[in-house]
Structure 1
Amino acid sequence: MSTSNLKTNILLLTEFKKGNKKAFRKLFELFWEPMFIRAKSIILDEDVAKDIVQEIWLNLWQKKEHGNFENFEAYIFKSVSYGCFKYLRNHKLKTAHLQAIAALELSIESNIADQHNLDQTRFIIEKSLTELPPRCQQVFRLSRMESASNEEIAQRLGISKRSVENQMSIALKSIRQNLRLAQSSLTSLVIFITLF
């Protein structure tokens, strides 16, 4: 998920918690179909899958002011898994369905964690770039985001190929350093939490 999509979703969620029906409708439009597809893949019944997802959205609206939706996407997809599990339990369906739910939950959590890590890495790279001189930023963006070769960058900017290589080296060093700092901060936090 891009940073702009993340910000949009956070804004929509904030408005939804205030009771804004348009924000709720927009969240519904964004997430209903993936939720339905997930439910249908577990339940194998389109009508029941629709009912489960509709029930989740009704509950979301009822809990809008007091619900804990810090990670909204994780919350709704866990709700889908739980709703499917409840349906299967109440209807005494095959154990294979329950195993499918357990496997999906692990997959969902892993995908959300991976997406969070990717978003965090992108944020650190962008932050690192803003700390660099403008020319260095420009060289990095041309190289890594537009896939321009060092020769092409040198020609476009009217500088030597060696200068391009030096600027890339500075940019990469800064990014690596910031990524290491973020990783060591996270490790320190985990150690601190486990001690107390």
Structure 2
Amino acid sequence: MTRNPQNERILLELIKKGDQNAFGKIFNIYYNVILVFIYKLTKNRMQAEDIVQETFAKLWAFKERIDINRPIKSYLYKTSYNLYIDIYRKSLRAKEMLKELYYQKIISLTEEDDAIKEKKMALIEYTINELPPKCKAIFMMSKFDGLTYNEISSELNISVKTVENQIGIALTKLRTALKTQVF
């Protein structure tokens, strides 16, 4: 069926009475047109399809209120656009909430009590000093001197695997010390 105002008026009258075939015809005429319109806004095919389906669901849900003297195309464009705007606003609110939580977390981390920082640093220093001498030397070369595992391996004449194992041991001891300590 082509777009003809007289035919549309007849279809709208039938839809108002609950005629599903008439609804199907309107759906077939306008689905792709509205989908293209909404896709240009969302740039997301699935979201656009959801909005268009919701638009037609609203048309059916409020079929008794249809004004047969107004073009159905206008109703569909307006309804789909309003649904898009609602989703867009919710998305902005969600982004703002996440941004606020992010900033609050950063502030709370940066405002950590200096005494706690000092206690943590002292614990880290103590734990490093308690490492076996070889493990401590390898860890210091990696983390403080910035040497790669290959460079440490060459300098100490040990395998890269030994370097990896020793650094793993040091990190495990540091994590354990920090986890078990209450600040």
Shorter-chain TM-score range: 0.3 to 0.5
TM-score normalised over the length of structure 2: 0.47
